[in-house]
Amino acid sequence: MSAVGDQVRKFLDESVYQSVIWKSVFRHGFPDTDRNRTLVVLSNLFLHLHPAKLKGHAVRMRYTWCMGGLSFFMFLILTISGVFLMFYYRPTPEYAYQDIVALREDVPLGMFMRNVHRWGAHSMVLIVWLHMLRVFMTGSYKAPREFNWAIGVILLKLTLLLSFTGYLLPWDQLAIWAITVGTNMARATPFLGHEGPGASLIGYDDFKVVHSKSDIRFALLGGSIVGPSALLRFYVLHCVFLPLVAGFLMAVHFWRIRKDGFSAPL
């Protein structure tokens, strides 16, 4: 190391790493010894999602393509940008569209944040698909990781639902028609949708249990068209329910990666 570097290092060692403040935050010195490198991972809430050491192949980018980590990273970016958008957005037909226009025109960084949120959401869908492809191609779904793969499949479904529910919120033509097309399929759910096979068998004579105002699509939209109640429902699902469930399942997913051990050749 150069003379300047030595000086800097000496200063850090003597004045910073020994200081009361540093020691109250980090319970270890600079991570350049084996002991400190282990401690930095173990004593930090975020880093300790990792083990302290990994087998060489698992560290390489060409093995994981970083896709799992990036799925989580996208989720975090979307949470942060989403909270920002929530400050300005009201989920009723009177305001929703207008709030998006205001976000674009009046709010500092509003358009940028909206773009980050939208492109981040599209990216997350892609990244989660490719993460699944990686897990498949390395055979990582096989025993003992079958259950974690199943958790992953639910996470994939949640990612798609998050993206889908968010699509409605701008309340423009693109939004309501995409959601109309998507939710129309629910009409045809066997037994539960009023145009689904078997639904007309439930009930007798003219009394039908499943009709256009009682079927699963009605429950999803809170009405028989994509209207104000659908907007509110999708908003609540999008901003509260689905992220909570996804966050919870991610915790399980990460826990299981550690418990099952990271995939490795035998």
Our finding on whether 146 is near other proteins (CB under 8 A) is yes
Q: Which does 37 bind (CB under 5 to 8 A by kind): ligand HEM, other proteins, none?
A: other proteins
Q: Is 214 in the site for other proteins (CB under 8 A)?
A: no
Residues 55-114 that bind other proteins (CB under 8 A): 55-63, 65-67, 69-70, 73, 77, 93, 97, 100-101, 104, 111-112, 114
Using CA atoms, how far residue 194 sits from 80, 119, 201, 216, 228, in Å, is: 39, 36, 11, 8, 21
Question: Bridge partners of 203?
Answer: 208
50 binds other proteins (CB under 8 A): yes
User: Which span (8-16, 154-162, 232-240, 247-255) binds other proteins, by CB under 8 A?
Assistant: 154-162
- Give the type of residue at 54: L
Among 75, 72, 126, CA closest to 253: 72
How far CA 240 is from CA of 87, 130, 162, 226, in Å, comes to 14, 26, 10, 20
Give residues in contact with ligand HEM (CB under 6 A).
64, 67-69, 71-72, 75, 128, 131-132, 135, 138, 140-141, 145, 148-149, 152-153, 155-156, 159, 250, 253, 257, 262-263
Residue 219 binds other proteins (CB under 8 A): no
DSSP annotation of 238: I
